[in-house]
Structure 1
C-alpha cells in the first residue's frame, strides 16, 4: 500500500509561535502591522524549513513492496528442470512417490512394514538418481513407473487405512496379512530393478577386464592365463622314480 511522504511541521509551529508572541508583545492595530508580521512569518518559515532540511515529496523513495508468498518464496521449492521433459516428469513423479512413502512410514505402526517402506524409499531414490545421470535408461523403468511403483503405493495405502480402523475383522486381518507377506517380495523386486540398471555397465567392465588381462599377458607383463602353470617339482630327465 502506498503512503504519502511526511512533511516537516516545524516551520508551521514556528510561524504560529511568532504570531502568538507578536500578538502578545506588539499591538496589531493597523494593516501595516499585519503586513509586517506576514513578511516576518515568511522569513521564519523559510529559515526553519532550511534548518530542518525537510525533504521534498519527490526526494523520498517509495516504500518497497513486500515479497508475496507465491513469488520469491516459491522459487527455491521448484525442482530444476533438466531440459528433458520425459526425465523431468519421471523425477517429479518419483519425488512424489518418495514423499508418499515417508508419510506412510510415519502413519504405519507395524515395525516390519515400516522397515520395508524405508528400504523401498532408499532403493527408489537410487533408481531415480541413476536415471537422472543416465537418461538413456528411462525405457528400463517404464513398467516400474507405470505399474510396480503405483501398485505398491496403493497396497500400502490400503494397509494404512485398514490398520487404522481399530478392528480385527476377517477381511481386514486377511488383507493386512497378505500385504505383510507381499512386502518382502516387493522389496526384492525393487532391488532387482536397481541392479538391472547396471547390467550394461557391468558387461562393459567385464569385457574391459578380459581384454586388459589378455593384452597384458601378450606383452609379457603378466602370466598368460591360457598357458598351464609350471609345476614346482624339479625336472627328472632320466625318468628315474624312487619308491619306498
Structure 2
C-alpha cells in the first residue's frame, strides 16, 4: 500500500461558477472584462485550493512477480498471495469479532505454511489439498456469509446458512493447523532419520 494525494474537484467547480457569475455581471465582449473575470476566477481557485486540500488515500500497489527459480513454487506462492489478500478484505468487511479472530488465525497459519514451503520447496506438493480446496472453499464461504449479511431482510434459510458458516470456521482452523503440522511432521521424521544414521556411523567407527 502507498499513499497518494488526490486533489479536490471543488476548486474547479468554483472556477466554473465564477465565470458564470461574471458573465451575468459583465458584458464579457470587452477584453478587460475577460481579464477581470480571469483574475477573480484565479483568486477563487487559490482560496478554494487552500480550503479544500488534497486528500491522502491508500492505494494497493501491484505486487512484484514472485520468482524463486522454482516454477511450481512460484505459482503456489502467487496464488497464495491472492488468496491471502481476499481473506484479508473479507475479514475487514465482516463486522463479527469471533469470525475476525478465526480468519486472523487462518491467515497466521497460512503465512507459516507459505514460509515453510518457501524454505522447503520440495514439500510444495504436500499442500495441494490446502491450495486447491481448503483456501478457495473458505473464501467462498466467507463471500456467501458477507452477501447474506448485506441482505436487508433475513429469512430463516439465510439465518441458518450464516449459522452453519459460523459453526464450520473452527473446523477449518483445525484443518489449516493439521496441514502445517503434517509439513513439520515430515521434517521431524527426516531429522530423526539423519540422527539415527549419524549415531550409527559414530557407533560403527568406535569399534
TM-score range, shorter chain: 0.5 to 0.7
Aligned pair partner of 1:168 in 154, 162, 168: 154
Select which of 135, 139, 142 maps to 1:149.
135
For 1:1-244, list aligned pairs within 5 A.
77-208=63-194
SS state of the match for residue 197, structure 1? Answer: helix
Report Cα offsets for 1:4-26 as digits up to 9, x if no partner: xxxxxxxxxxxxxxxxxxxxxxx
| Shift, 1:122, TM fit | 0.8
SS at match of 2:67: coil
The answer to which structure has the higher strand fraction is 2
Task: Return closer, same or farther for 1:151/1:77 CA change in 2, 3 Å cut-off.
Answer: closer
The RMSD of aligned alpha carbons is: 2.6
Q: How does the TM-score come out when normalised to structure 2? A: 0.63
**Structure-1 residue corresponding to 2:50:** none
Structure 2 gaps, min length 5: 1-60
**Whose helix proportion is higher, 1 or 2?**
2
Q: For structure 1, which segment, 166-175 or 147-156, has the greater mean C-alpha deviation from structure 2 after superposition?
A: 166-175
Q: Distance in 2 between matches of 1:123 and 1:170?
A: 34
Q: Partners of 1:209 and 1:94 in 2: how far apart?
A: 34
Instruction: Please list every run of 5 or more consecutive structure 1 residues that lacks an aligned counterpart in the other structure.
Output: 1-74, 221-244
Partner SS, residue 198 of structure 1:
helix
SS of aligned partner of 2:154 = coil
Match of 2:48 in 1: none
Shift of 1:133: 1.4
Spell out, residue by residue over 1:143-164, the C-alpha distance to the aligned partner (whole angstroms, 9 max, x if none). 2111121111100110111112
- TM-score w.r.t. length of structure 1: 0.54
Deviation at 1:79, TM superposition (A): 2.8
d(CA) in 1 for partners of 2:108, 2:150? 25
Larger Rg: 1
Relative distance call for 1:128 and 1:168 in structure 2 (3 A) is same
CA distance in 2, matches of 1:76, 1:190: 27
